[in-house]
Chain A
Amino acid sequence: MDFHPDPELEAFREEVRTFLREKLPADLAHLSIGMFSPGEAIRRWQKILHDHGWAAPSWGKQHGGTGWSVEQKLIFDEECVVAGAPTQDGFGQNLLGPVLNEFATPEQWQAHVPPTLRGERLWCQGFSEPGSGSDLASLRTRAERRGGNYVVNGQKIWTSYAHRADWIFLLVRTDPEAKKQAGISFLLADMKTPGITVRPIISIDGHHHLNEVFFDEVEVPAGNLIGAEGMGWGITKFLLNNEHATTADLPNLKMLLRKMKELAIERRIGTTRLIDRSEVALQIAAFDTELRAMAMMVSRTAAMHGDQGHFAHAFGSMLKIRATDLQQRMSVFVVELLGDGGAAAAPAPGAEYSAEMFFRRAATIYGGSSEVQRGIVAKLMFGL
């Protein structure tokens, strides 16, 4: 055990800052609402990162990534948030990307990864269905092999950003006879394929992040099957394991803390600044402390990558439980600091803080709800 920081990290931080100062266009900064930035901002920013050689900050060099250490990646994220840079496409970067790096054929990799890294292809994730939420393996969207195609029929729901995605990766049932998990396969489909219909779902933050996606006799080339038929569930478990360090959303937690501090200095109760009220200072300091612990827990999780042991898996679930809970408590407290403004649906910026808070209610539901995560921890850690 050794907690000395890498002496080269500060130089790296400076390098990131310089890059952001020089390359981040002013009109791209400070656009993030909810999970991701607007699609066009993501595309332009991804192209800039790509041209700089930083297209995939969390991938190894052998896959076209930066090969950064965990600490470097965290510094990169942190500086990007401070500078107000757009997000990257988390679906391509953190979920599908590692899957393609692990399971795709060289031809498949070549067809999908380079355009993704250039910002020319945004992805969405077609997992949940109306009847299959936590019980994902009960999914019913059917893919039938006909000649050189799979013909897909069914419905996906809660599909974030499907309305602006170029492609979707989805789970389909290729063998209705096989037991639950065994009949599931992993497909990639172009969202422009005839028969795909996207319908918006407006969420409680008033924004359009979510969609229903309908598949009606959609023909997907058989070459878009990742892995073998029936391997979809194994790939999904691999993918979800990669998701945990990301769902903690540390940059967002740090942003929430900064907003709190800002409001506590600027807003007053009578003539007293909020920060000079003990109940406010105590609460912000407690979040500050908990966030320090959370940041270390994220580092510990990230350091476990590659280790597919039970403990690493359970640890990811524990991180998700605690980090999403913290996101919710912190975003609620930001709204509390707005005072009367916390009730108002307009104008910005207060209303945007509230929208962010409403959006965060999804954090304990998506990517495996907190209840599902607790079940995983109990099973893996205690054999219950």
Chain B
Amino acid sequence: MDFALNDEQQMLSDSVARFVQSEYGFEARTRLVVAGEGGSPANWRTFAENGWLAAAFPDEFGGFGGGAIENAVIAEQFGRGLVIESWLGCAVLAAQTLAASGDAASKAEWLPSLADGSRRLALAWSEPESRGVPHIVGTRATGQAGGYRLSGRKTLVLGGCGADALLVSARSEGAIGDRAGIGLFLVEAGAAGLSVLPAPLHDGSLAATVILNDAPARMVAGDGLAALEHGIAHAMLALSAELVGAMGQSIEITADYVRTRKQFGVTIGSFQSLQHRLADMAAEMELARSMLFAALAAFENDDAATRRVAIAGAKAFVTEAARNVCGQGIQLHGGIGMTDECAIGHYFKRAIVADALFGTRSVHAAACAEALAADLDTQGGAEGVSGKEEREFA
């Protein structure tokens, strides 16, 4: 293992950091939020020109051959600036799901244009009842002559507004929670029976609610659940990295504030209660970063079951850390932290939105608990846990 960025990763990190610094000051960001369009096309072109849209694509599709680590490097810097463009939804979630779908024709058709930014794809997978569980799918796919028709309702579709097409999970057979029978389908923007409704989120970014009413679609994968889970795993890792960046920046903003704000004739940073709070925030952020590293390691090295638990656990852990750290950021600012024109509160808003994306903390905590109980059962009791000698001791 090597925890330091290599030369290429360092260059990538530096270039994204420079962009955030020059283009994503709090005022510039506020203008983008107020415009209500989920970011600017100019920024998206910058992402494309710098290769940030395709850092984790294979070379053959115009990518740079990196992986989840490269996406994490980009995401951390985006998190520092609270970038609102739907890089996470389009360049990570939708693109990685499509790339994992195994449909060569669709990949050849879409990935190069996603990489160069000429087209955008969004993934519509979540539904009001799915709560972070990708195989809870009520949307129906019906085979027709020449294609499929989809009907259902999708929520929190990241990058759905303005996407050229939607990649939609839909069920061609089985009941709502079955793992079998879930396909992935492409629905072109503007298709009959497709409504894409803007859904502004607390953090100023723009998602969509998608209503499918017998909308025409093309099948990308008949059995698409594994690809979907892979894409969501990628997105959870990138989101965790983004939150590490958001925590880092909110700690810096807060430290700057307590160094300058005066009360009782002294800077409030001279008070031990505030110093210790900041130290705890820093420790929490570094433990969350360690959690991210552990999840990235599991993603690269471990079997599917171990990965799933590691990434679910990480998502729950990092999100909880972000809610704590960014919430404390508001607290240390006092009243000014409550105002919309102060940056700190917006980091907390992002942490709240992040918890709702891809399943909340409690959902992932429960998944980890279930996996643990199942794991202990298959190990055949305590001997599998600790060995015989230790049982005698116990």
Contacts and interface: CB of A to CB of B under 8 A. Distances in A.
B2 A1 contact: yes
A381 B393 contact: no
Interface string A247-291: 000000000001101111110000000011010011011101110
Contacts of A319: 283
Contact of B365 (A286, A314, A377): A286
Contact of B1 (A4, A321, A349, A374): A4
Contacts of A375: 272, 275-276, 279
Interface string A159-199: 00000000000000000000000000000000000000000
Interface of A is mostly: helix
Interface stretch (B57-65, B115-123, B311-319): B311-319
B1 A71 contact: yes
Contact of A349 (B275, B297, B389, B393): B393
Contacts of B283: 318-319, 321-322, 377
Contact of A2 (B1, B313, B366, B369): B1
B276 A293 contact: no
A378 B1 CA distance: 29
B300 A3 contact: yes
B313 A285 contact: yes
A261 B283 CA distance: 28
Contact of A1 (B69, B294, B314, B390): B69
Interface of B is mostly: helix
Chain A's interface size range is: 35 or more
B4 A289 contact: no
A262 B382 contact: yes
Contact of B297 (A3, A82, A294, A383): A3
Given A290-B317, A296-B290, A296-B293, A4 B278 contact: no
B368 interface: yes
A303 B382 contact: no
Interface in B274-293: 274-276, 278-280, 282-284, 286-288, 290-291, 293
B269 A292 contact: no
A299 B372 contact: no
B255 interface: yes
A349 B376 contact: no
A24 B381 CA distance: 26
Most chain B Cβ neighbours within 10 Å, of A29, A300, A317, A383: A300
Interface string B356-394: 000000000110111111001000011001110111111
A317 B316 CA distance: 25
Interface in B79-129: none
Given A1-B73, A261-B386, A377-B279, A295 B294 contact: yes
B336 interface: no
B48 to A, nearest CB: 24
Interface string A315-335: 101110110000000000000
Contacts of B382: 261-262, 265-266
Contact of B390 (A258, A275, A314): A258
B316 A382 contact: no
Contact of B389 (A30, A296, A299, A315): A30
Contact of B259 (A284, A295, A377, A383): A383
B158 interface: no
B3 A288 contact: no
A262 B300 contact: no
A3 B293 contact: yes
A192 to B, nearest CB: 35
B313 A288 contact: yes
A161 B214 CA distance: 77
A300 B3 contact: yes
Interface in A1-58: 1-6, 29-30
B258 A82 contact: no
Chain B's interface size range is: 35 or more
Contacts of B391: 262
Given A282-B369, A321-B283, A292 B381 contact: no
Contact of B294 (A82, A261, A292): A292
Most chain B Cβ neighbours within 10 Å, of A265, A288, A303, A375: A265
A213 interface: no
Contacts of A294: 287, 290
Given A321-B280, A349-B394, A285 B286 contact: no
A302 B4 CA distance: 13
Contacts of B1: 2-6, 71, 299, 303
Nearest to B256: A382
B368 A288 contact: yes
Contacts of A374: 275-276, 279-280
A221 interface: no
B5 interface: yes
A378 B275 contact: yes
B181 to A, nearest CB: 29
Nearest to B2: A2
Contacts of A295: 294
Given A1-B2, A30-B390, A84-B390, A292 B276 contact: no
B142 interface: no
A297 interface: yes
Contacts of A259: 386, 394
Interface in B1-58: 1-6, 9
B217 interface: no
Interface in A315-365: 315, 317-319, 321-322, 349
Contacts of A288: 313, 368, 372
B385 A382 contact: no
Interface of B: 1-6, 9, 69, 73, 255, 258-259, 269-270, 272, 274-276, 278-280, 282-284, 286-288, 290-291, 293-294, 296-297, 300-301, 310, 313-314, 316-317, 365-366, 368-373, 376, 381-382, 385-387, 389-394
Given A282-B369, A384-B275, 12 more contacts: A1-B3, A1-B4, A3-B1, A5-B297, A82-B387, A263-B394, A286-B368, A288-B368, A296-B290, A296-B294, A300-B3, A321-B280
4 A-B pairs with least C-beta separation: A289-B313, A378-B275, A293-B291, A377-B279
13 contacts: A2-B1, A30-B389, A261-B376, A275-B372, A285-B372, A286-B368, A292-B294, A293-B314, A293-B317, A303-B3, A371-B276, A374-B279, A377-B279
Interface of A: 1-6, 29-30, 71, 82, 84, 258-259, 261-266, 275-276, 278, 281-282, 284-286, 288-290, 292-297, 299-300, 303, 314-315, 317-319, 321-322, 349, 371, 373-375, 377-379, 381-384
